[in-house]
Amino acid sequence: MDAPEDAIADQARHMVETVPQAAALGFRLISVGDSRGSILVPWRAELVGDPATDVIASGVVTSLLDHCCGLAINSSKGERFPTATLDLRIDYMRPAAPRAAITALAHCYKMTRSIAFVRAEAWDVDPADPIATAQAAFILHGASAPR
Amino acid sequence: MSEAPVLNANDRLQGFLASVPYIRFLGMRCELAGDEMTAILPFAPHLIGNTMLPALHGGVIGAFLEMTALAQLSVVQHTPKVHKTIDVTIEYLRPGRALTTYARADLRKVGRRIANVTVEAWQEARGTPVAALRGHFMLSSDE
CB contact under 8 A, B91 and A95: no
Interface of B with A in 31-50 (CB under 8 A): 45-50
Could you read off the pLDDT of A1-28 as tens digits, one per residue? 445 667 778 888 888 889 999 999 999 9
- pLDDT category, A78, cuts 50, 70, 90? low
State mean pLDDT over A110-134. Answer: 96
Q: Over 60: is that where the pLDDT of A62 sits? A: yes
State which residues of chain B have pLDDT below 50.
4, 7, 143
CB contact under 8 A, B55 and A146: no
Distance CA A124, CA B96 (A): 30
Give the minimum alpha-carbon distance from A55 to chain B in angstroms, rounded to a whole number.
Answer: 11
CB contact under 8 A, B58 and A89: no
CB contact under 8 A, A21 and B49: yes
Could you read off the pLDDT of A85-102 as tens digits, one per residue? 899 999 999 999 999 999
Residue in B95, B81, B103, B76 with CA at minimum distance from that of residue B13: B76
Residue in A142, A135, A59 with CA at minimum distance from that of residue A96: A59
Residue B56 backbone phi and psi in degrees, to 5: -65, 150
pTM of the shown model: 0.91
Looking at this predicted complex, what is its ipTM? 0.90
